Amino acid sequence: MSLTKSDLADLARAKELLENPGLAAKLTGMLGTPIDKGMKLLPASMQKAVHKATEAALRKALDTAVKSMGEQTHGPARDRMHKLAAAASGAVGGAFGIAALAIELPISTTVMLRSIAAIAASEGENPRHLETKLACIEVFALGSTKDKRDDAAESGYFAARSALATAVSEAAKHLAQKGLSKSGAPALVRLVGLIASRFGVVVSEKAAAQAIPILGAAGGAMINTVFIGHYQDMARGHFIVRRLEKIHGAEPVRLAYEKL
């Protein structure tokens, strides 16, 4: 069945959300200064700290997704409420600087995960289902700079999904059979590592923005509001595409997406 005019309009909206623009551009627009300046202020050791904090945040998010996500009935996505919660944690990061990243990022990531799950539910997904839980975790791999290993013929969005497909499948099989009883299982470690390699790029951009000495706690709150808004956009686009794939099949939707 071919996509209807309404479906194509939804798909066009999804593509606009997923492919435009990255967090760095959004932060530059908000701050009025390129975040490259912040990159120069970050110590060399910060990249290692970002990687460590990113993996820890994603492990916590995976744990939250599998154990408790979907226990509450979701109504509207309530994006604004989640943005306010993220702003509060961002204020802590802004007040104490990038040294607070290890404390603030897991909180922000968990808030974002709840928001992503609410968006998934608003697009017809069931956050209690394992497939949906993993699709929510996948969102953290979206919206970063395209990996040079990705297929150049594909959009950034579909390339990211293709790169994760095997790891997601292996993680789903492990979780269905053994749950989180072995959180260090290779299938889960691989999935977290692949997502962290992409999510970490965006976290570095966030850290760079926070390194620019502008507004302290208020600046941290503003930056986190843009940060969660970025991933809410990724989630909305992602779950629109998934909704259409369930109706029309994956390949027709991908071809229509690429033609837009």
pLDDT digits (tens, 9 = 90+) for 167-226: 999 999 999 998 877 657 899 999 999 999 999 989 888 888 777 765 555 566 778 788
pLDDT band at 8 (very low <50, low <70, confident <90, very high): very high
pLDDT band at 66 (very low <50, low <70, confident <90, very high): confident
pLDDT at 100 over 80: no
pLDDT band at 255 (very low <50, low <70, confident <90, very high): very high
Q: What's the start-to-end Cα distance of the chain, in Å?
A: 18
Across the chain, what does the average pLDDT equal?
82
pLDDT at 216: 53
pLDDT at 96: 46
pLDDT at 32: 76
Mean pLDDT of 89-106: 61
pLDDT at 154: 57
Spatial CA neighbour of 11 closest among 204, 243, 228: 243
Cα angle 88-91-95, degrees, rounded to a multiple of 5: 150
Distance CA 94, CA 99 (A): 10
Distance CA 92, CA 218 (A): 9
DSSP character string of 8-58: HHHHHHHHHHHHS--HHHHHHHHHSS-THHHHHHS-THHHHHHHHHHHHHH
The model's pTM: 0.86
Beta carbons of 137 and 183 less than 8 angstroms apart: no
Structurally, the chain folds into a number of domains equal to 1
For the chain, give the percent of residues with pLDDT over 70. Answer: 79
> Which structural domain range is residue 21 located in?
5-144+151-259
Mean pLDDT of 240-254: 97
Distance CA 155, CA 17 (A): 13
pLDDT at 247: 95
pLDDT at 21 over 50: yes
Contacts of 101 (CB under 8 A, 6+ apart): 49, 50, 53, 93, 203, 207
pLDDT at 94: 45
Tokens at 68, concatenated: 């408790």
Residue type, 256: A
Q: Which ranges constitute the DSSP H helices of the chain?
A: 5-19, 23-31, 36-41, 45-67, 79-96, 101-122, 130-138, 156-178, 186-211, 216-248, 250-259
Distance CA 127, CA 215 (A): 37
Beta carbons of 190 and 167 less than 8 angstroms apart: yes
Distance CA 39, CA 204 (A): 8
For the chain, give the percent of residues with pLDDT over 90. Answer: 44
pLDDT at 16: 95
